[in-house]
Chain A
Amino acid sequence: QSALTQPASVSGSPGQSITISCTGTSSDVGNYNYVSWYQQRPGKAPKLMIYDVSKRPSGLSNRFSGSKSDNTASLTISGLQAEDEADYYCCSYTSTSTRYVFGTGTKVTVL
């Protein structure tokens, strides 16, 4: 089971919106609405940002939103802030024996 494909880096200026893509296959992203997104700051544990493609955990800023089309899921961060600078990983349930597969990770830089 190969990792889901994410761009290595995405950048934007404060206040702008950015979108991170996460491309899988019909065995994972394309066939299940079980895509989650995690934010990871340096030296810290991942933090859940989005689950079930587009749901936000309680208390999380509505600047973060998720969507999916065919085999590609996306995370959009609107009103980009300096505190959003981190690595972001997608994760999907998969029908293969691996059960869960993570994305390759995307480094978000706030210019």
Chain B
Amino acid sequence: QVQLQESGPGLVKPSGTLSLTCGVSGDSISSSRWWSWVRQPPGKGLEWIGEIYHSGNTNYNPSLKSRLTISVDKSKNQFSLKLSSVTAADTAVYYCARDLLFYSDYWGQGTLVTVSS
């Protein structure tokens, strides 16, 4: 069974960098899939953040692109997200997911990241 698990600090200071990792089990990060990040501000809808292929190819949401880095660590079977210069608007539950072509079939449970001093 494929499982994804987000991990990282739950509190980040304004202007700091939000860093999260998604550990994958039951599938290889090197398989022919894209791996993505999606976020959801409290009480609001879903927003697509970006995705990465095991080769390192990435696609980013243009609204976040200047602050965003998604990377993959094949040795640890995980991928990561870094979002710099965060503000309160970046407070959200962050989900990682496995993508099959054009949809996400497995999702992590999500992790709440709060941006506050």
Q: Which of A31-76 contact B (CB under 8 A)?
A: 32, 34, 36, 38, 40, 44-48, 51-52, 57
A89 to B104: give the CA distance in the assembly, Å: 12
Q: Are A57 and B105 in touch, CB under 8 angstroms?
A: yes
Q: Are A102 and B46 in touch, CB under 8 angstroms?
A: yes
CB within 8 Å for A3 and B45 given contacts A45-B107, A45-B109, A45-B110: yes
Tell me the minimal C-beta distance from B55 to chain A in angstroms: 17
For chain A, the count of residues having a C-beta within 8 Å of the partner chain is: 27
Q: Which residues of B contact A101 (CB under 8 A)?
A: 48
For chain B, the count of residues having a C-beta within 8 Å of the partner chain is: 21
Q: Which residues of B contact A93 (CB under 8 A)?
A: 102
Which of A45, A100, A105 interacts with B48 by CB under 8 Å? A100
A99 to B57: give the CA distance in the assembly, Å: 14
Q: Which residues of B contact A32 (CB under 8 A)?
A: 102
Q: Are A46 and B46 in touch, CB under 8 angstroms?
A: yes
Tell me the minimal C-beta distance from A38 to chain B in angstroms: 8
Q: Which residues of B contact A52 (CB under 8 A)?
A: 102-103
Of all A-B residue pairs in the complex, the 7 with the closest CB atoms, nearest first, are A34-B102, A36-B103, A51-B103, A45-B107, A100-B48, A102-B46, A105-B45
